[in-house]
Structure 1
Amino acid sequence: MRLSHSVTAAGFWLGTLLPIVYVPVILTGIDSMSHLSLFIALLAVHALALVVGHDYSGSRSR
């Protein structure tokens, strides 16, 4: 149960903070296949983090 809570918390915080990484990727431009692959991978990781961290209890006000 404790591992599950830790994974959910990590998913929540990763999903919350990952958009900060988008800024440099977009500012440098998506002009090559490697930058496009990086951007698509970031989107996929972000979506997965949002799904995993969806039930994090620390994100709700009491």
Structure 2
Amino acid sequence: MYAWSTVTAIGFWIGALLPVVYLPVFVTGIDSVRALSLLFGLLAVHAIALILGHGHDGTRTR
């Protein structure tokens, strides 16, 4: 159960902090296929992180 707790915590924190990475993408502009692919990749990673981190309750189990 410890491994799943770790995965949930990591997913939660990635989901919480990943929007900070969106800012440089928007500032530089989405004017190419590469930038658009990067944005969609970030959105996919963010969605997966939110799904995995949904059950995180913030308690530490040892």
Q: Name the TM-score class by shorter chain.
A: over 0.9
TM-score for the superposition, normalised by structure 2: 0.92
CA distance in 2, matches of 1:57, 1:2: 14
Which segments of structure 1 move beyond 3 Å, counting only runs of 4 or more?
none
Spell out, residue by residue over 1:36-57, the C-alpha distance to the aligned partner (whole angstroms, 9 max, x if none): 0000000000000000000001
Percent of pairs with identical residues: 58
Gaps of 5+ in 2: none
**Match in the other structure for 1:52:** 52
CA RMSD of aligned residues (A): 1.1
The count of aligned residue pairs is: 59
TM-score for the superposition, normalised by structure 1: 0.92
